[in-house]
A and B are shown apart, each in its own frame.
Chain A
Amino acid sequence: MQSYVSIENLSKSFGFFTAVDDVSIGIGRGEFFSLLGPSGCGKSTLLRMIAGFETPTSGAVRLDGEEVTDVPAHRRPTNMMFQSYALFPHLTVGKNIAFGLEQDRLARAEIRQRVSEVAEKLQLTALLDRKPQQLSGGQRQRVALARALVKRPKVLLLDEPLGALDKNLRTETQHELVRLQRELGLTFIIVTHDQHEAMTVSSRIAIMQQGKVLQIGSPAEVYETPVSRYVAKFLGEANVFEGGATRRSGNELAVESAEAGGSVVAAAADHVSTNGRFWVSVRPERVELTKQGSGLEGVIEQFSYAGSGRHYRVRLKSGATLDALRVNLGAEDDLSIGDTVFASWMPQAARLLAD
């Protein structure tokens, strides 16, 4: 598949520090793509190289088949929404939005028409004569978005665009972004450190750590089949137990784990060999806790009520901890702190990791 945005072996070093290390990503037309990682993982630097603010040390960036690696920011068909919004404080909202079109020397009438179009789409029509200082955080965010969108970029880049908003507005704005992106059919690349945000908005996610891409996939792919312990733990919660594989029966592999204090099961494809070290990763919501039965034995040590679910932390006999989440379906809670419980899960609920 020919990628619309193609990042090829891109690296960026600042002195001895390598911010982005040999990254290759292909992004399709109309995708909502997330670069996800902790702060300092190089995701922002990568975005800034796509925008043209940083010159790559090596590698290439292609947009719509054209190499733009050495094209300066002001001549790239990309537009960026900045984390700080970077609204021009001396200009009104209308002038802010028109700024990019004025640079292109478009006719006055066209500028006016396009500004009012985008203002209407983002509910800014009433605010066009205000100065940025007179706006709320959410309004500023919409102006920043309008200013970038009005240029009809091939790719819209968003650098932590919702970081400054409070939680409710954030969730609402995430849905709004997805709606806009579908409506306009544009390609969005968003940088975020919020895994929940990345999962909510994106068609695909690239998980980054220390300048490298660890995994690329749809939200479901990266959550269900993480490639490493790091990815499993970064995206949501995961119980990870180290061990060596012993028996295979069909598609199931029993892993003898001293850490878990027993044998844990995981689904394994045929090609997985039955020796070597493995890690078994299980999501808390897939763990079943019972008062009697089989499984890993332990004692409930902590409990927290989170509304939509109940969190239990179980101290296993081996000394390791295990987190379990029971979705709140309205049933009475029969477990309390100090109870002895048995933890088990379906083999296909666990993921076998080699790293």
Chain B
Amino acid sequence: MPQPSWFNRLSIFAGLAFLYLPIVVLVVYSFNASRLVTVWGGFSTQWYTAAISNQSIVEGAKISFLVAAISATFATVLGSLAAIVAVRIRRFRGHHIFNGMLVAPMVMPEVVMGVSMLLMFVTLGIDRGPVTITLAHATFTMCFAAVVMQSRLVELDPSLEEAARDLGCPPFMAFMKVAVPTMAPAFVSAWLLSFTLSLDDLVISSFTTGPGASTLPMKIYSQIKFGVTPEVNAISTIILGVVVFGLVASRIVSRPSTKSSLAV
């Protein structure tokens, strides 16, 4: 392997710094003893204590986690169904449009989605609160879940289910007994991804929320309006930790089973 040149090293360093320096600063200053955000006053975990004893923050966190868990579950179920249609039935009338519409929300401006969902809830006369946030999150995370499921479903050997049928299993049971267990890691992966996306969403939550239902990102955002406090740094670090854990877990789980070469 050729050694990277000094230019390569520099550009990698600069690129990583550009991406991650702000996050490093955030994490470091969350352990700052000083009340001033930009002045280092020694190591302390007092802001973590302050954050988790802040009633409003804890309330926001509860809503966020609940919304994320429920919406991720919906998104995984719906996304899986969509993926099954896209992969298994494949050549139906309008399958191109279906596939396009499935992934379009990934690139659609969040503001547009937020406004449209708000309009829909108002039109239907649904009171806005945690329920509407959950519905909205399920909608926009569903397409991510569908993409994860789709990529795994494509790899699934169709003869697995045929083998189950051949051995006496009716088609639906063959799917449940063979395809679903084989796909289990993909379900977990899709759920974790949806959960993470929901947890840190601000824009769509803001549009679809109602009185008394503020998610954690919304709480943080409103606190920032009065200046950045080390407490915010601490909460952000906790969220960062949860998100990183979610993403890493999702990647590990979804990694295709390594073909063992141990057998002879």
- CB of A254, distance to nearest CB on chain B (Å): 54
B131-165: CB near A (< 8 Å → 1, else 0) gives: 00000000000000000000000000101101111
Contact in complex: A88, B164 (CB < 8 Å)? yes
CB < 8 Å: which of B157, B162, B178, B182 contacts A73?
B162
Q: Does B168 count as interface, using CB distance less than 8 angstroms?
A: yes
Select from chain B the residue with minimum beta-carbon distance to A127.
B263
Contact in complex: B164, A139 (CB < 8 Å)? no
In Å, the complex CA distance between A87 and B170 comes to 18
Q: A84-B159, A88-B182 in contact; A133/B167 too (CB < 8 A)?
A: no
Contact in complex: B257, A133 (CB < 8 Å)? yes
Q: Does A151 count as interface, using CB distance less than 8 angstroms?
A: yes
Q: A74-B166, A99-B164 in contact; A82/B182 too (CB < 8 A)?
A: no
In Å, the complex CA distance between A134 and B184 comes to 19
Contact in complex: B169, A103 (CB < 8 Å)? yes
Which B residues are in CB contact (< 8 Å) with A86? 157, 159-160, 162-163
CB < 8 Å: which of A78, A90, A135 contacts B182?
A90
Which A residues are in CB contact (< 8 Å) with B163? 80, 82, 86-88, 147
Q: Does B89 count as interface, using CB distance less than 8 angstroms?
A: no
Which A residues are in CB contact (< 8 Å) with B39? none
Q: Does A104 count as interface, using CB distance less than 8 angstroms?
A: yes
Which B residues are in CB contact (< 8 Å) with A133? 257, 259-260
Q: Which of A78, A79, A88 has the most CB of B within 10 A?
A: A88
Q: Does A168 count as interface, using CB distance less than 8 angstroms?
A: no
Classify chain B: how many residues form its interface, as a range.
20 to 34
Q: A99-B167, A151-B168 in contact; A134/B157 too (CB < 8 A)?
A: no
Contact in complex: B162, A74 (CB < 8 Å)? no
In Å, the complex CA distance between A79 and B262 comes to 30
Contact in complex: B164, A89 (CB < 8 Å)? no
Contact in complex: B162, A147 (CB < 8 Å)? no
Which B residues are in CB contact (< 8 Å) with A90? 181-182, 184
Q: Does B264 count as interface, using CB distance less than 8 angstroms?
A: yes
In Å, the complex CA distance between A104 and B184 comes to 26
Select from chain A the residue with minimum beta-carbon distance to B261.
A136
Contact in complex: B167, A100 (CB < 8 Å)? yes
Contact in complex: B260, A134 (CB < 8 Å)? yes
Which B residues are in CB contact (< 8 Å) with A87? 163
Classify chain A: how many residues form its interface, as a range.
20 to 34
Select from chain B the residue with minimum beta-carbon distance to A97.
B167
CB < 8 Å: which of A80, A136, A139 contacts B166?
A80
- CB of B39, distance to nearest CB on chain A (Å): 56
- CB of A165, distance to nearest CB on chain B (Å): 14
Q: Does A316 count as interface, using CB distance less than 8 angstroms?
A: no
Q: Does A53 count as interface, using CB distance less than 8 angstroms?
A: yes
In Å, the complex CA distance between A257 and B259 comes to 58
B residues 100-156 touching A (CB-CB < 8 Å): none
Q: Does A208 count as interface, using CB distance less than 8 angstroms?
A: no
Contact in complex: B264, A136 (CB < 8 Å)? yes
Q: Does A51 count as interface, using CB distance less than 8 angstroms?
A: yes
Which A residues are in CB contact (< 8 Å) with B178? 88
In Å, the complex CA distance between A73 and B167 comes to 8
In Å, the complex CA distance between A196 and B168 comes to 33
In Å, the complex CA distance between A332 and B100 comes to 72
B residues 159-209 touching A (CB-CB < 8 Å): 159-160, 162-171, 174, 178, 181-182, 184
Contact in complex: B157, A74 (CB < 8 Å)? no
A63-90: CB near B (< 8 Å → 1, else 0) gives: 0000000001111001110111011111
11 contacts between A and B (CB under 8 A): A72-B171, A74-B171, A80-B163, A86-B157, A86-B160, A90-B181, A90-B184, A99-B164, A100-B168, A133-B260, A139-B263
Known: A72-B165, A100-B167, A133-B260. 20 other contacts (CB 8 A): A52-B166, A73-B162, A73-B166, A74-B165, A75-B168, A82-B163, A83-B159, A86-B160, A88-B160, A88-B164, A89-B182, A90-B182, A100-B168, A103-B168, A134-B262, A135-B263, A136-B264, A147-B167, A151-B167, A151-B168
Cβ-closest 6 pairs across A and B: A100-B167, A103-B168, A86-B163, A86-B159, A90-B181, A136-B263
